[in-house]
Structure 1
């Protein structure tokens, strides 16, 4: 039971990060019908920008509390990622909006490689130690006393940064839901997703809506990048590839184009990965484990696409007029 509960907590932490990233994929696809494969690298830019800001602040004022450094990192990463996402849409995708679908897809891959190369030039190839000073001691949530065959105390625990990741992710997901459903820009996004042509006849500027969608997704990716770097204590130029690929998997599993599907898919993928990796490691005596948890993520993708190609919650994007 203790292993099961611990893996559930680990899965929720992973899933919260995947859900934040997946929201960027699904929002852009819902409004534009485009898979932005550079989205994971926007996450990486956010993490490295936060690293630079936090390192500079630590050098100027040593001994600052961890939450101050992390706040500075977030306040740097969010606008940087929003600006990068806006630039990507304006420079790379907008000129290809009426091009065949393959052209933006190839462009997205090119943008991804370009961002990785620029990050490698600016920050180098080495792993960078993320300068957070948050407490690392885990907080025990549940304690299991010794029992038959087990002569030691077992605990289910969570670290302060993991609590922060889950809390911030949930708050941002709630905030995004309110923005999409209750605000003027959210209504414009939904109208543009239904039909850009008809939305423009109603006084909505599709270019503005699409740019805003990219920027909101970029801001979420910036938060996710800081959280990933803080959770693993490292940042590097290639760190966005695997989380981006898994978040895309989560968006597809949940039903790409559906923000609730992205949230569900992200949390589900994190739980499947964590439970699969944890129990596989236990059953094989540690021979297999967390290093093989990627298998479960993509096995779920294959299974869902085979049984339900539209994803668990389907797709809410209609044919465009």
Structure 2
């Protein structure tokens, strides 16, 4: 194996990990605030990709404008799901919210399947994102560099929001104890809605990046990607934003490199991610950046 191939696969793994990380952040933030695994989150990623597709295909919007429309409407969808499906069950047993999340996931998948068909549709992205950069013998597609860079930029923006703004302080307070925060005059429902806005927006960005990298979309595109992103959140330490991003990059890198070194097992590519998760949790059940002593602390 030559160095050019190795370096190219490393970049591909980091790019794939960046997409997992964007989606994993939404999982870990919602869990940090509500202790809920929002299984509908991956389907909001799918909706984001479809919204971008429709905005370009049927309304003739340029790619950048379609991305903005997708992010806005995905954020609204996230808050709508919270308002309709989760808020009435806020103080119900957590199993009720979990079942509701699974139901919302099935509803979104099957609704898009009924209205738009199950066949994959080609996603047209700007040509410059598909351009190839040649560095000596190394060939890298521009989108593989854009995704991890975008992930890190959005992570820094999110960390600034969480630790340098009043809204971020409120989010961390609600994650610590929602009942006490409500008694102190903070509208917990608005803060939770903000969490869903942030998570759904990042899921939309992840869906668009995935659609550009693998230029097809379908109503069930979020199923396996969502499971891997959830695995990334658990691997990094669910409830930790930095852990979710780290877990995403590790998972994507491992998945690509395992196939490169074991090409005869390429048909089991999806299994490598979950095998890594099992191995890490055997030795560190709280994840890489999780902390048993800070069980109630989040982010």
Q: TM bucket by the smaller chain?
A: over 0.9
Asked if structure 2 preserves the Cα contact closer than 8 Å seen for 1:134 and 1:160, the reply is no
Q: State how far apart, in whole Å, the 2-side matches of 1:208 and 1:137 are.
A: 42
Q: 1:274 to 1:112 in 2, by over 3 A?
A: same
Radius of gyration: which is bigger? Answer: 1
Q: Which residue of 1 aligns with 2:253?
A: 271
Normalization by structure 1: what TM-score?
0.87
Asked if structure 1 preserves the Cα contact closer than 8 Å seen for 2:175 and 2:297, the reply is no
**1:252, distance to aligned residue in structure 2 (A):** 0.2
* 1:270-300 deviation line (CA, Å, top 9, x unaligned): 111111111111xx4xxx32x4221110001
Asked if structure 1 preserves the Cα contact closer than 8 Å seen for 2:119 and 2:218, the reply is yes
Match of 1:214 among 190, 196, 200: 196
Q: State how far apart, in whole Å, the 2-side matches of 1:317 and 1:244 are.
A: 24
Q: Which residue of 1 aligns with 2:93?
A: 100
| 2:138 counterpart SS class | strand
Paired positions, count: 293
Q: State how far apart, in whole Å, the 1-side matches of 2:50 and 2:59 are.
A: 14
Match of 1:196 among 174, 178, 181: 178
**1:106, distance to aligned residue in structure 2 (A):** 1.1
Tell whether 2:147 aligns with 1:165: yes
Match of 2:132 among 138, 146, 158: 138
Mean Cα deviation higher: 294-303 or 70-79:
70-79
Q: State how far apart, in whole Å, the 1-side matches of 2:260 and 2:297 are.
A: 42
In structure 2, runs of 5+ residues without a counterpart are none
Q: Which residue of 2 aligns with 1:2?
A: 4
Match of 2:160 among 160, 178, 183: 178
Q: State how far apart, in whole Å, the 1-side matches of 2:161 and 2:41 are.
A: 21
Q: State how far apart, in whole Å, the 2-side matches of 1:123 and 1:176 are.
A: 34
Tell whether 2:286 aligns with 1:310: yes
Match of 1:127 among 115, 120, 123: 120
Q: 1:30 to 1:76 in 2, by over 3 A?
A: same
Q: Which residue of 2 aligns with 1:35?
A: 37
Q: State how far apart, in whole Å, the 2-side matches of 1:109 and 1:71 are.
A: 32
Tell whether 2:102 aligns with 1:109: yes
Q: State how far apart, in whole Å, the 1-side matches of 2:95 and 2:32 are.
A: 17
**1:133, distance to aligned residue in structure 2 (A):** 3.1
| 2:113 counterpart SS class | helix
Asked if structure 1 preserves the Cα contact closer than 8 Å seen for 2:38 and 2:98, the reply is yes
Q: State how far apart, in whole Å, the 1-side matches of 2:290 and 2:138 are.
A: 35
Normalization by structure 2: what TM-score?
0.94
Q: State how far apart, in whole Å, the 2-side matches of 1:278 and 1:200 are.
A: 52
**1:163, distance to aligned residue in structure 2 (A):** 2.2
Please provide the CA RMSD for this pair.
Answer: 1.6
Q: Which residue of 2 aligns with 1:247?
A: 229
**1:309, distance to aligned residue in structure 2 (A):** 0.7
Q: State how far apart, in whole Å, the 2-side matches of 1:179 and 1:304 are.
A: 30
In structure 1, runs of 5+ residues without a counterpart are 59-67, 144-154
Q: State how far apart, in whole Å, the 1-side matches of 2:116 and 2:123 are.
A: 13
Asked if structure 2 preserves the Cα contact closer than 8 Å seen for 1:69 and 1:132, the reply is no
**1:319, distance to aligned residue in structure 2 (A):** 7.7
